[in-house]
A and B are shown apart, each in its own frame.
Chain A
Amino acid sequence: MASGKANDAVFGAEVPSAAKKLRELFYSAHFIHSHIAHFYALAAPDFVMGPDADPAERNILGVVGKVGLEIGGEVIKHRAYAQDIQAMLAGKATHPVWVLPGGVSKGLNQEERARVEQMAQSCVDFSQFSLKLFEDVVLKNKGYVDLILSDGYRLVTNYMGLVDDDNKVNFYDGKVRIVDPEGVEIGKYSPSEYLDFVNEHVEPWSYLKFPYLKKHGWTGFNEGKGTGIYQAAPLARLNAADGMATPLAQEAYEKMYDTLGGKPVHAILAAHWARLVELLYASERLLELSRDEEITSDVIRKIPEGTPSEGVGIIEAPRGTLTHHYKTDEKGMVTAVNLIVGTTNNHAPIYMAVKKAARAVIKPGMEITQGLLNMVEMAFRSYDPCFSCATHAIFGELPLKFVVYNSSGEICREFQRTQL
């Protein structure tokens, strides 16, 4: 979707209103697919089974065993709905070739629209159920709430997210808004202006870059007011916006901030809650668009006639703001590309969060257990990072390595995730 929008800009294309709505409808389904998986497969095991539960049980099977097998069926059903909607429009749900400069290649007929509406309503209901489950399992457990709000899982940075004209969260279009650690807007830019606001730092020990705000410059791996570090993921998006553009999601948004003490929230584990608020928003938006009179229009593409040159496209990926920047020659052949992938935005924050969590849970003389390791991983997992997307590496497993130093700075234990 981001590449499609970048191509619109490269070709100077004007996208018909119905095509924009179809793209947003498709993209809402994508968010539903991604966010359901993260909550039920990755976040819920930590809370439903417990952070230090046996890994053999701390997984999605354990979760549905505890909350009900039928919930697992609902997870699959609603993810399949999302894939069905994407395949309906783009021929296939994965790696679709559907967004074209100036529009899309296929629209919706009335029969398909009615199917989308039915599935969208079900997604709204399931999103509300998921929020209720979070409330019952997490919020009613004081230990979990204390954990979420504890210093070990708190990271104070700037926040970024795409917003509409009313500063409400939008996944498909708008301007990127940046707020400081106190929630004050310190920047707002259109895609073509991204290089005025964001730069990328390089460290010799990583081939993934570290984006930062130009306004503050690279200030190192430091948090607090004045830092150049920002976060861009579900919690960051909600922190950077003034609210949600759909009614039920707005209610859930207000409840989250009321419960957690107001905006912005720096508790990184609250990202799971923010992700569910976004799930509800995506479902409601899908339903709205399925009922939009224009959604079955056949005016879905205006073929661009300009000479291609340069363009930037920005959307919100489930894991953060996604920027594609292309330059081409007059024949449209690409001469330069720059991508800032969702996870890349959070590269520095992920390191900082993991370090803080490790320092909080591992104390001198303490035996390093699987449960402690998982509590460090929980900081990592809250971002739902996809380093394979961000680095294009092909490892096939998470090559996480832990090195434990004693108070003299000597290594006292090394182990890898897969060896535990």
Chain B
Amino acid sequence: MNNTKKIYVIGCGNTLAGDDGVGIVVLRRLMEKDIPDKVEFIEAGIPGLSLVELMLGAEKAVLVDSFLGGDAPGRVVRFSESELPPVGYNAGQSHGIGLREALSFARGVMPEGFPREVVVVGVEIERPERWVEGLSPAIAAAVDEAVDMVYAEVLAGA
């Protein structure tokens, strides 16, 4: 990838799956702000190794994604890497390696290639939908907070 930009903001999710697309919505809102030149924005609807490989060359990566928590849809949470849930390496098929494991692998084999810090800004959703565009009111109301949180992470890393 083009490695001249050193902070990668990566939006995850599927905008055709309702609230699952909140990470992409946040990313697109951020792109409208005044952002330092060294920041690159990436839309990624992919998990595991492929997601981690997009971070190659970055000093810091901030991921924005939805998550299922069962508590309060619309809650915005910052996860450090160590707070990510372990998923496992071997989910049966090549789309199924967890982010935490993929990061661990990537750093293990290429210590200088991957960001020293990875932060995930998560927006809790009730469930992903199928073939639904747009966010539910509770999730749409959380977008500003998520944008601010990611923006603060970007400024802190710049």
Q: Which residues of A contact B (CB under 8 A)?
A: 33-34, 37-38, 41-42, 45, 55, 58-61, 64, 69-73, 75-77, 79-80, 83-84, 87, 92-95, 377, 380-381, 384-389, 392, 394, 396-398, 400
Contact = CB atoms under 8 A, between A and B. Distances in A.
Nearest to B128: A394
Contacts of A59: 88-90, 101
B91 interface: yes
A346 to B, nearest CB: 12
A61 to B, nearest CB: 5
Contact of B108 (A37, A45, A61, A388): A61
Interface of B: 1, 17, 20, 42-46, 49-50, 53-54, 56, 68, 87-97, 101, 104-106, 108-110, 113, 128, 130
Contacts of B96: 397-398
Contacts of B42: 92
B93 to A, nearest CB: 6
28 contacts: A33-B50, A41-B94, A41-B97, A42-B92, A45-B89, A55-B90, A60-B89, A60-B97, A60-B105, A61-B101, A61-B104, A64-B105, A71-B109, A72-B105, A72-B108, A76-B113, A80-B1, A83-B1, A83-B50, A83-B53, A92-B42, A93-B50, A385-B92, A386-B94, A394-B130, A397-B91, A398-B92, A400-B92
B89 A41 contact: yes
B87 A73 contact: no
Contact of A42 (B68, B93, B130): B93
Contacts of A84: 1
A150 to B, nearest CB: 21
Contacts of A396: 68
Q: Which label, helix, strand, loop or mixed, suits the secondary structure of the A interface?
A: helix
A37 B128 CA distance: 27
B43 A95 contact: yes
Nearest to A381: B92
B94 A37 contact: yes
Contacts of A33: 50
Contacts of A95: 43, 45
A388 B20 CA distance: 15
B1 A394 contact: no
Nearest to B87: A397
B91 to A, nearest CB: 5
Contacts of A77: 110
A396 B93 CA distance: 12
A76 B109 contact: yes
Given A64-B109, A70-B109, A76-B106, A87 B94 contact: no
Contacts of A41: 49, 89-90, 94, 97
A81 to B, nearest CB: 10
A75 to B, nearest CB: 7
A316 to B, nearest CB: 16
A219 B61 CA distance: 52
B28 to A, nearest CB: 14
Nearest to B92: A398
B90 A384 contact: no
Given A76-B113, A397-B87, A388 B1 contact: no
A179 B113 CA distance: 46
Contacts of B92: 42, 377, 380-381, 385, 398, 400
